[in-house]
């Protein structure tokens, strides 16, 4: 059995590579088709939106599917790519199942693109409500993010008594961080420097570095991206907990669908609650360790990529969907 994973080749979030590894663990062959890899001219044309680049990319995808003949083509952030690419995948002689992994908000104008997919897996349960409101076909399923537990795991080092937040800056995130009363290390471009005990590392970091930071710090902060999220958890919650690191997560509807708040993850609803949790989790190592270990146990049991691969295969009624 074969699956082709279609995604952009960049970024701190490696959703597609993690899920592909889960498929391989279940005995599937996988290949990747990158939407932003190729000669410099092609990349420049693609950024400019020229038809020549899109035609070339569409032909390459069609050729890959026809020659390799996968049973499933899994497209990441499918409502943000050209509808011509999705149609090309559908119109191949092999006619694999066309599957989309939706991780960002969308709008009503993308209903036509959504109708081209056999199944859309949404990382945010709130996206299902949006899809219904916008008249999308009933092809959506809630499937949360996961963690690469081979990479994200506890380390042998003593914990640093500080929070860590590895994230892109948004106005809401910056405002909350500006009012934190506890020491925190911020990683990501464009964070605004502040007074001690805040430390800003204004750069992007590789995924391996993020794993090490989570494993070294006593706790991890998580704040929703207000432009992309309705109720869903991003990968940060799963990855930090996989390191045995307690997560201080803002109050989102999907938290209770994935973890037990107060035992496996810490949830805050206001700036005051966040500051209180920060003080407690940094002052009490035993408490922090207990929350982190409970969260890690939940991730290992229910939120790994091989678990997500099984869920996808079972939903699509494809072979080797072990339970």
If asked whether residues 121 and 187 sit together in one domain, one would say no
Residues 98 and 205 in one domain: no
pLDDT bracket for residue 49 (50, 70, 90): low
Residues 199 and 286 in one domain: yes
In this structure, is residue 155 part of a structural domain? no
> Alpha-carbon torsion 73, 77, 78, 84, what sign?
negative
**Does 152 reside within a domain?**
no
Closest by alpha carbon to 266, among 285, 283, 287?
287
pLDDT of residue 227: 93
State the distance between the two ends of the chain, measured CA to CA, in whole angstroms: 18
Residue 66 lies in a domain: yes
Residues 308, 298: one domain? Answer: no
Same domain, 184 and 132: no
Q: Is residue 119 part of a domain?
A: yes
Q: Is residue 9 pLDDT above 70, yes or no?
A: no
Q: In what order do the strands lie in the sheet with 140-142?
A: 29-34, 2-7, 72-76, 97-102, 119-122, 140-142
Which pLDDT band, with edges at 50, 70 and 90, does 45 fall under?
low
Q: Are residue 141 and residue 9 in the same domain, yes or no? A: yes
Shared-domain flag, residues 119 and 224 = no
pLDDT in tens, 103-121: 999 999 999 999 999 999 9
Looking at the fold, whether 43 and 175 belong to one and the same domain comes out as no
Can you give the pLDDT at residue 107? 94
> Is the model's pLDDT at 36 over the cut of 80?
no
Which tokens go with 210? 């993020």
3-state secondary structure of 156: coil
Which strands sit side by side in the sheet containing 266-268, from one edge to the other? 198-201, 184-187, 160-166, 217-222, 247-250, 266-268
DSSP string, 191-254: PPP-STTEEEE-S---HHHHHHHHHHEEEEEE---TTT-SS---HHHHHHHHTT--EEEE--TT
Q: Is residue 323 part of a domain?
A: no
Shared-domain flag, residues 36 and 59: yes
209 lies in some domain: yes
Whether residue 124 lies inside any domain: the answer is yes
For residue 263, give the 3-state DSSP assignment. coil
Q: Mark out the alpha helices in 252-304 (DSSP H runs).
A: 255-258, 271-283, 285-302
Q: Which whole-number Å values give the CA distances from 261 to 4, 180, 285, 317, in the listed order?
A: 36, 21, 19, 33
Which CATH number fits the domain that encloses residue 238?
Answer: 3.40.50.2000
Query: Is 63 found in the same domain as 102?
Result: yes
Average confidence (pLDDT) over 86-105: 94
What digits encode the pLDDT tens for the residues 220-270?
A: 999 999 999 999 999 999 999 999 999 999 999 999 999 999 999 999 999
Q: What percent of the chain has pLDDT over 70?
A: 92
pLDDT at 323: 41
Q: Do 118 and 219 reside in the same domain of the chain?
A: no
User: Domain span at residue 295?
Assistant: 160-302
Residue 153, domain member (yes or no): no
pLDDT tens figures, 137-180: 999 999 999 999 999 999 999 999 999 999 999 999 999 999 99
- Give the pLDDT of residue 263: 98
Do 298 and 309 belong together in one domain? Answer: no
Report the pLDDT value the prediction gives residue 322, as an integer from 0 to 100. 45
What average pLDDT does the segment 184-192 reach?
Answer: 94
pLDDT tens by residue, 52-75: 778 888 999 999 999 999 999 999
Q: Considering its fold, how many domains does the chain have in total?
A: 2
Long-range contacts of 21-25 (CB under 8 A, 24+ apart): 21/148, 21/305, 21/306, 22/146, 22/304, 22/305, 22/306, 22/307, 22/308, 22/309, 22/310, 23/309, 23/313, 25/306, 25/309
């Amino acid at each position: 059995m074969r699956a082709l994973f279609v995604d952009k080749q960049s970024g701190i979030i490696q959703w597609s590579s993690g899920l592909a590894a889960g498929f391989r663990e279940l005995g599937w062959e996988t290949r990747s088709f990158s939407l932003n890899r190729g000669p410099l001219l092609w990349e420049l044309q693609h950024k400019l939106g020229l038809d020549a680049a899109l035609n070339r990319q569409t032909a390459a995808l069609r050729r890959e599917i026809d020659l390799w003949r996968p049973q499933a083509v899994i497209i990441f952030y499918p409502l943000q790519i050209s509808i011509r690419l999705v149609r090309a995948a559908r119109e191949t002689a092999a006619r694999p199942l066309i599957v989309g992994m939706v991780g960002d908000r969308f709008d009503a104008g993308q209903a036509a693109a959504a109708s081209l997919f056999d199944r859309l897996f949404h990382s945010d349960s709130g996206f299902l409500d949006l899809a219904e409101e916008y008249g999308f076909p009933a092809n959506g399923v809630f499937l949360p993010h996961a963690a690469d537990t081979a990479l994200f795991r506890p380390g042998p080092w003593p914990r640093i008594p500080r929070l860590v937040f590895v994230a892109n800056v948004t106005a809401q995130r910056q405002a909350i961080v500006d009012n934190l009363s506890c020491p925190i290390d911020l990683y990501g471009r464009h964070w605004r420097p502040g007074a001690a005990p805040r430390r800003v590392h204004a750069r992007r970091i590789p995924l391996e570095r993020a794993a090490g930071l989570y494993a070294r710090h006593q706790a991890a902060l998580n704040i929703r991206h207000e432009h992309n999220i309705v109720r869903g958890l991003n990968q940060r919650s799963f990855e930090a907990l996989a390191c045995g690191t307690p997560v201080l997560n803002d109050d989102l509807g999907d938290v209770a669908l994935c973890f037990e708040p107060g035992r496996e993850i810490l949830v805050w609803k206001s700036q005051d609650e966040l500051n209180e949790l920060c003080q407690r989790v940094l002052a009490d190592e035993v408490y922090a360790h207990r929350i982190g270990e409970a969260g890690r146990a939940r991730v290992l049991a229910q939120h790994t990529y091989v678990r997500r691969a099984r869920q996808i295969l079972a939903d699509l009624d494809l072979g080797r969907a072990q339970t």
